[in-house]
Amino acid sequence: MKKTAKIDPDGNSMLLRASAKRLFESLMEQTADRIYIKDKKSRFIAASQTMAEMHRFENRHDLEGLTDFDLFTKEHAQQAFDDEQEILRTEKAIINKIEKETWEDRDTTWVSSTKAPLYLSSGKLAGIIGISRDVTAEKLAQEKLADSEQRLREQNEIMRSDYQSAMEVQSVMIPGRVPHIKHVNIAHLWKPMTMVGGDIINFPRNPGNCLLFFVGDVCGHGVTAAFYTVLIKYLTAHSAEVYNDNPRDFLNSVNEGVTGRINRGFVTGLAGHFGPRQKDGSRKLVLSHAGHKQVLIYRKEADKVELINLPNGTVMGIPGTTASRATSFDLQIGDRFYAFTDGIVESSNPAGEEFGMKRIIQRFKELSTKPINETIHRLYEEVAQYTESPDQQDDITILGFELN
């Protein structure tokens, strides 16, 4: 007897009663999934309309009796057949397997396929039932992402290699040749924040063969700043070829070469030279700066560290700027001179308090009995401990001289 729709007392819902066969037919006609049933020889017994249309059949019943070998290339058909025979042998389902579908007349597609054993009401194994969902867009997106990730890994490897090369170049270039001058101990420390940095120390050769030095700090960090240190190295070497014992002229010459070549940045610098040794062992130190105003002199006789504020001078790389006028100082045997970039002064602890110039002066005084090279390395280590961080906050460079 045919069942009719039943309306509930409130008239708000309808319960459809139909035969199991009709419900199955409705499912196969209306579902958006590719549903199919196959016998033990992997022949289609039933298939959804969506699956028929995917295979370019007008009616889902047109698939009945066909196999995957009639629909796909052998590559996919054989794999599907082998999977289905394994299911029949083991009676174990395959859940959400990503399958590659290859066709004779269209592009490759991908599906997420679930196949399970199908039993009769008697419990006898009759075949398999399967559901496939198209995941081609997702698969192509994954492949595109994988390609992008691979390219990114390759680019990162190139960058890492370039970084390593830049580090090796800088380690040779900075400070480069360190002169050996009788009765002058030279100490230097160069610690970039990353593998490479924007600080630079060098001792350019000059016609008078005096002890000429330069300390610079390129605005910024990393590879970009490191590239500019190569430019600074070249310009200081070039300017030193005509050095006239005036560090101001030297810095202004470097500034002329830098201006217009550093995008949205600038360079601070300090230059100076030591005069000949006098009979009493003293030497004259002549200094000029371009945005690097403060230096320290330790006077051994007074056992005191003096903070020297050099005359006003402006940074390099900006049109119209100029270095400070040259200023000279007399140093005696045992006296020390220190110059450093702002990375050491501005290093901060977790509370945001900078290490500061006062602490630097105190530590240089306390460490004055140590060899000058040990002094500057000890100071660096103490600053690193002060920050309580394994990561350096800025490039740090320290240069020291001691007369003996």
pLDDT (tens digit, 9 = 90+) per residue, 296-310? 999 999 999 999 999
Average pLDDT of the segment spanning 230-236? 93
Is pLDDT at 13 greater than 60 in this prediction? Answer: no
Express each pLDDT in 248-301 by its tens digit.
999 999 999 999 888 778 999 999 999 999 999 999 999 999 999 999 999 999
- In 279-351, the DSSP E strands lie at 283-290, 294-299, 304-309, 327-331, 336-340
Where does the pLDDT of residue 18 fall: very low under 50, low under 70, confident under 90, or very high at 90 and above? Answer: low
Specify the pLDDT at position 286. Answer: 98
- In the chain, the percentage of residues whose pLDDT exceeds 70 is 95
Are the CB atoms for 404 and 333 separated by under 8 Å?
yes
Q: What angle, rounded to 10 degrees, do the helices at 356-366 and 372-387 form?
A: 140
In whole angstroms, what is the distance from residue 98 CA to residue 76 CA?
Answer: 12
Pairing of strands 327-331, 304-309: unpaired
Residue 361 pLDDT > 50: yes
Q: How far apart are CA 165 and CA 153, in angstroms?
A: 18
23-62 pLDDT, tens digit per residue, is: 778 888 888 889 999 999 999 999 999 999 989 999 999 9
pLDDT of residue 12: 43
pLDDT for position 6: 44
In terms of Cα–Cα distance, which of 55, 56, 39, 37 is closest to 47?
37
pLDDT, position 9: 47
Q: What phi and psi, each to the nearest 5 degrees, are found at residue 323?
A: -75, 165
Mean pLDDT of 220-249: 91
Tell me the mean pLDDT in the region 194-222: 92
Can you tell me the distance from the alpha carbon of 81 to that of 383, in angstroms, rounded to the nearest whole number? 71
Of the CA atoms within 13 Å of residue 166, those in its CB half-sphere come to: 21
Total residues belonging to the chain:
404
Helix H or strand E segment including 207? none
Alpha carbons 87 and 81: distance in angstroms, whole number: 10
Q: For position 323, what pLDDT does the model report?
A: 97
Q: Which residue has the tokens 């006062």?
A: 358
Among 379, 373, 365, 375, residue whose Cα is nearest residue 302:
365
Per residue in 143-194, pLDDT (tens digit) is 888 888 888 888 888 777 877 877 788 888 889 999 999 999 999 999 998 8
Token readout for 133 is: 């969902």
At 110-124, the pLDDT tens digits run 889 999 999 988 999
Q: What is the mean pLDDT of the chain?
A: 90
Which residue is it, tokens 């499912």?
Answer: 27
